[in-house]
Structure 1
Amino acid sequence: MTKNLVQYIVVRGDLKWPTGALIGNACHASVAAIVKHMSTDPETQEYVSQLDSMTKVVLKADSADILQDVCHRLDQNSVKYYLWREQPEDIITCVATTPKPRDLLKPLLSHLKLFK
């Protein structure tokens, strides 16, 4: 039975990049978070076992510093994630959590708005 699992992806909104490039980076981060933790995280395993009911929330961070703050909040609450760096420039562009119950993640990220 699902626990209302959701994966949050926080993307920098201050980068003046084409929308497709930002979406690509978000996809990279999402896949990386899942692949990196798939073998050790039961909630990630459950999430991918239900392909037709996956839920993702994409939020906006106004700077790299805010993304670093997000990582700090996740670390403090033992939430695994993947911080994506665009290469070869080494630019932090987004962070994706592993799938977790919405009730756990939403309060940690409530200070951010949906990416539009």
Structure 2
Amino acid sequence: MAAPGSGPAGRLVQYVVLRGDLQREPLSWPLGAVVAQACHAALAAVHAHYGHADTGAYLAEAGRMRTVVLQALDEGALTTLAETLQQHNIDHKVWIEQPENITTCIALRPYPKEEVHQHLKKFKLLK
């Protein structure tokens, strides 16, 4: 039996969706702060789902891990995505930066692309 996520059709990917407005006025966050949000969310999602077979297989890929970083227009778009993921029982972590209490990012646990892509296809790659 093949390992979870093995083979070209089941290639595992971790999707991270950041608010695109964090770097624009009036927020104007520096690039490093935005990257940190993605890192926090990705690590939190992996930690929360560490025991899942797909997470283990993804981590075992070491230097071949695939992560896709997308951007949501703003907090509202991120909130809507979180609701959609919740409705479809897709494991994810919403990152809320503290102490500011600002929702900044969502990271999914590693999934085969075909299982989750339909919920993320409206988001563009982060620029």
- TM-score under structure 2 normalisation? 0.87
Q: How far, CA to CA, are the matches of 2:91 and 2:43 in structure 1? A: 13
Larger radius of gyration: 2
User: 1:19-30, aligned counterparts within 5 Å?
Assistant: 19-30=31-42
Deviations 1:24-73 (A, max 9, x none): 1100000000011102x111111111112110000001111111111112
Q: Alignment RMSD, CA only?
A: 1.0
Q: Secondary structure at the match of 2:21?
A: coil
Displacement over 6 Å in runs of 4+: none
Q: How far, CA to CA, are the matches of 2:99 and 2:57 in structure 1? A: 34
Matched-pair identity in %: 39
Match of 2:25 in 1: none
**Unpaired runs of at least 5, structure 2:** 23-27
**Unpaired runs of at least 5, structure 1:** none
Aligned letter for 1:99?
P
Q: How many residues align?
A: 115
Q: How far, CA to CA, are the matches of 1:82 and 1:54 in structure 2? A: 19
- TM-score under structure 1 normalisation? 0.94
Match of 2:14 in 1: 7
Aligned letter for 1:5?
L
Q: How far, CA to CA, are the matches of 1:75 and 1:54 in structure 2? A: 25
Q: Secondary structure at the match of 2:90?
A: coil
